Amino acid sequence: MPSTDDEAILLFEKATYLEEQGRMSDAVNIYRKAFKLNSNIDLIYRSTYSNKHISKEKGKNALIRVDERKVSSINVDELINSFSNVHLETPSEHPDDAPSILLHLPRDIWCHIFEILILTTPESWFNMSITCKKMAHIGFGNSTYQYLCNLIYPKQVYEENEAYRSRLVPRGELPIPSDQLLILPHYKSWKNMLHERSFIKYGGCYISIVNYYSEGGKDENSLSWTNPVRTITYYRYLRFYPNGTVAKMLSVLPPDRVVPWFSTERHFIPDAEQNEATRIYQGVFTINSSGEVHVRIDNGSTSYLTFHYYFVIKSLGQFKHGKLNWTKYYAVRKATSPDDDRVGEIMEYSIRNEKPFKFSRVKSYSLE
């Protein structure tokens, strides 16, 4: 392959990465450079280099297509339950490949191990659960879903319970009790509860990427019939905490600059100019039983306004409860003087151009 094609492929890969990050304007500029080197670089990348890269990285079975209809017809619960009486046997042909003696540990110990994995590295819990039938039965069993429900839902800040926060109300008498056994009959199983009952995720960041186009002016001596157009990209960030606080930021800085430093403990992003584009605001949030989230920022970008954001939790394909869709956005005017007659005025903002927030897990984020 000519050296210019190698350079074009590197530029094309970089542009693809920037596009995935939502940095459309930067991506377009680099795409143009790649196409100047080779006008067919997209075909070359996808037909040759891309396929070789996939095969090398993911193994010989990477390009095998799965029959989605057959997969969707599988009853997963029945399949997992069928593994309950699996016995471990030493292979007669290769005795050195005998199962690890750790698999003979009592089930209670394995359940505790899975709980530790869920708390520390959820990916390890999932990877461990798909190693064999015995691990699948324990890792994806009802006790694991029960543990997850008891881990997740008591940490949600429910709107219906806010009126009782300052009172000593017995746990079972709250509108939404923290004892999940009282709620279980509504969902029939722990797995159904986890799949159907919305919740806010704390181990990461919700990011909304917004792109819009700005038409510029032509040069004084330009002969072009059209004005230049530039793609503008900005990001909205939200990070929720179990204590009911939330960090909010609106910035042109991409996620790789913001996410490592994004928390309620900071007011600005380090190593960046301290201005409105790098400022982190702190607010509070609640979620109700219908999966609607209300975020309130009392001290936002405009001192005399209290900002209110409303979202509804949705699933992102197979990614359960991983998206926040906008439903409403407005501000309420605060008092600026003792005789201010505009207190309580409501200013509604359009959400037509706003994009949903998508959750991204961040390993360095603590759940506290």
CB 42, CB 50: distance < 8 Å: no
Rounded Cα gap, residues 192 and 276, in angstroms: 43
Answer yes or no: are the C-beta atoms of 90 and 99 closer than 8 Å. yes
Sequence-distant (6+) residues with CB within 8 A of 330 are 307, 308, 346, 347, 348, 349
Q: Is residue 156 packed enough to be buried (19+ CB in 10 Å), middle (13-18) or exposed (0-12)?
A: buried
Phi-psi sector, 25: left (phi>0), alpha (psi -120 to 50), beta: alpha
The residues near 212 (Cβ < 8 Å, ≥ 6 apart) are: 231, 232, 353
- What pLDDT is attached to residue 334? 92
β-bridge mates for residue 307, sequence order: 297, 331
- pLDDT of 170 reads 62
Q: How many residues does the chain have?
A: 368
Backbone φ, ψ for residue 58 (5° rounding) = -110, 0
Looking at residue 296, what is its pLDDT?
A: 97
Triad 204, 21, 57: Cα angle to 5°: 90
- The whole-number pLDDT of residue 61 equals 46
- pLDDT per residue, tens digit, the chain (368 aa), is 567 888 888 888 888 888 877 777 788 888 888 888 888 888 888 776 655 554 445 554 455 566 778 877 888 888 888 888 887 776 666 667 777 777 788 889 999 999 999 988 888 999 999 988 889 999 998 899 999 999 999 999 999 988 777 666 665 578 898 899 999 999 999 999 999 999 999 989 999 998 877 666 666 666 555 566 667 788 999 999 999 999 999 998 989 899 999 999 999 998 878 888 889 999 999 999 999 999 999 999 898 999 999 999 999 888 899 999 999 999 999 988 888 888 999 999 999 889 999 999 998 887 66
Long-range contacts of 265-270 (CB under 8 A, 24+ apart): none
pTM of the model: 0.77
pLDDT score of 199:
96
Q: How far apart are CA 177 and CA 224, in angstroms?
A: 66
